[in-house]
Amino acid sequence: MGATALTKKTFNNQIQSGVTLVDFWAPWCGPCKIQLPIVEALADEMKGTATLAKVNVDEETELAGQFGIRSIPTLLLFKDGALVDTMVGVNQKDVLKEKILKLTV
């Protein structure tokens, strides 16, 4: 299944409850091509615990602007609608998993 693709219409509903990690990316971005498969794999692994999602910044410029995304990949971590962490650049799977699990206890 992998990460859920979000749009400005679905974004707020998705982050409102539980833990959601959102990967802001673009198809032309080299580091994004490293990060996205990590997010996709973690999405399947964390199913039922947290939601992992992705936003294509080329298609969702309004969302990227709303969160001040200046470089990609940028990962935003939400807990019950509140932004709790921002990570810029490539993050390893174990680092992301640890941050997510800290919020789910």
Range of the domain at 71: 16-104
Is 78 part of any domain?
yes
Does residue 36 surpass a pLDDT of 90? Answer: yes
Q: Tell the burial category of 68 from Cβ atoms under 10 Å away from its Cβ (0-12, 13-18, 19+).
A: exposed
Active-site annotation holder among 14, 18, 29, 90: 29
For 46, list phi and psi in degrees, rounded to 5: -100, 5
Residue 13: active-site member? no
Is 99 part of any domain?
yes
Does residue 1 surpass a pLDDT of 90? Answer: no
Does residue 24 surpass a pLDDT of 90? Answer: yes
Does residue 44 surpass a pLDDT of 80? Answer: yes
Residue 103: active-site member? no
Does residue 3 surpass a pLDDT of 80? Answer: yes
Q: Domain containing 45 — which CATH number?
A: 3.40.30.10
Is 9 part of any domain?
no
Is 8 part of any domain?
no
The angle, 0 to 180 degrees and rounded to 10, between the axes of the packed helices 30-45 and 93-104 is 40
Number of domains in the chain: 1
Active-site annotation holder among 6, 15, 22, 32: 32
Mean pLDDT, rounded, for 65-91:
97
| pLDDT at residue number 105 | 79
Considering the chain, what is the average pLDDT of its residues?
Answer: 96
Distance between CA atoms of residues 22 and 77, nearest Å: 6
